[in-house]
Amino acid sequence: MSLTLSLDFQYKTTLEKLWSALTDSSKLAKWVCNIQTGEPMENDFKPVVGHRFQFRTQPTEYWDGVVEGEVLIVDEPNRLSYTWGSGGEKHTVVWTLQDLGDGKVNLHLEQSGISNEQALGGAKYGWSKWCSELEKALA
């Protein structure tokens, strides 16, 4: 396990199209869904640093269905970051897009559970080593 969720996906597309899918509100609404219901989530996202946005879905008994965030980094078409807060937790999401040539683009996602800068700085220190220790502790 890791304190930072890290995922890589490869798409047959262009940097520009992938960037647009990640930043255009109407496109986001086509793929960001509530995975429990499969319903698309409404959003008012804008790729503007400092912009505060929401993703919304039907509330349930356990969740008000609202994700709130603030855009932190807009480095078109390579890097996008925002906070992602929901249910009393605040995470930081960072998307990194990389052109692999041959019409392929790698999309890297990092989501960390610790949102302030100082904590992230601390997190870099011995993070991976610490995570393996953590696995032992959880075993």
Name the residues that contact another protein, by CB under 8 A.
Answer: 1-3, 5, 7, 9, 11-13, 17-18, 21, 27, 30-33, 35, 89, 91, 107, 109, 111, 113-114, 116, 118-119, 122-123, 125-126, 130, 133-134, 136-138
Say how far apart CA 101 and CA 104 lie, in whole Å.
6
Q: Between the CA of residue 42 and those of 30, 68, 92, 136, what are the distances in Å?
A: 9, 12, 20, 41
Q: Compare residues 48 and 134 and give the one whose CB is closer to another protein.
A: 134
Q: Compare residues 50 and 89 and give the one whose CB is closer to another protein.
A: 89
Q: Between the CA of residue 28 and those of 19, 31, 44, what are the distances in Å?
A: 11, 6, 10
Least distance between another protein and beta carbon 135 (Å): 10
Least distance between another protein and beta carbon 113 (Å): 5
Q: Compare residues 1 and 50 and give the one whose CB is closer to another protein.
A: 1
Least distance between another protein and beta carbon 79 (Å): 17
Q: Compare residues 7 and 50 and give the one whose CB is closer to another protein.
A: 7
Residue 45, classified by CB atoms within 10 Å of its CB into exposed (0-12), middle (13-18) or buried (19+), is buried
What is the residue type of 81? S
Least distance between another protein and beta carbon 48 (Å): 21
Q: Compare residues 50 and 59 and give the one whose CB is closer to another protein.
A: 59
Say how far apart CA 3 and CA 87 lie, in whole Å.
18
**DSSP strand pairing (89-101 vs 104-112):** antiparallel
Q: What secondary structure letter does DSSP report for 40?
A: B
Least distance between another protein and beta carbon 3 (Å): 6
